[in-house]
Amino acid sequence: MAPRYDKRLVAALVDLDDRKVPIAETCPRLGDIAVNMGVPRPSYVHVRRLVRAKRDYEDVEQQQREALRQIGGDVVTKIMLGRFVDPYDVAERVRMARAS
């Protein structure tokens, strides 16, 4: 059974993670923070799992923001060209972008 890590330690990991730094370097840094907090030092496997989950979540958020920017740009372009903007179509595209 996997240990439950202190919420402060998970928050520290979120702040500590940098995509430019390998997870193998982040793990001992987080371990030092855990020791200072007086909580168990996380294993590399758990740190890697948490970092990957965080990065995957950030990637999805970035894709959603990009999709919403694209929708906004399409709406502005249509308005500038004097074309009809179907609000139901825009709402559906926004819903689909947020669902992905």
Each residue's pLDDT tens digit, 34-62: 999 999 999 999 999 999 999 999 999 99
pTM higher than 0.75 for the full model? no
**Angle, CA of 78, 80 and 82, to the nearest 5°:** 70
Which domain range does residue 12 map to? Answer: 7-99
Q: Is residue 51 part of a domain?
A: yes
pLDDT per position as a tens digit, 10-20: 999 999 999 99
User: Which stretch of 2-11, 24-33, 47-56 has the lowest confidence by average pLDDT?
Assistant: 2-11
- Within-domain flag for 2: no
Domain count, the chain: 1
Q: At what angle do helices 44-80 and 23-37 cross, to 10 degrees?
A: 110
Q: Assess if residue 13 is contained within a domain.
A: yes
Residue 36 lies in a domain: yes
Q: Grade residue 1 by pLDDT with cuts at 50, 70 and 90.
A: very low
Q: Is 1 a member of any domain? A: no
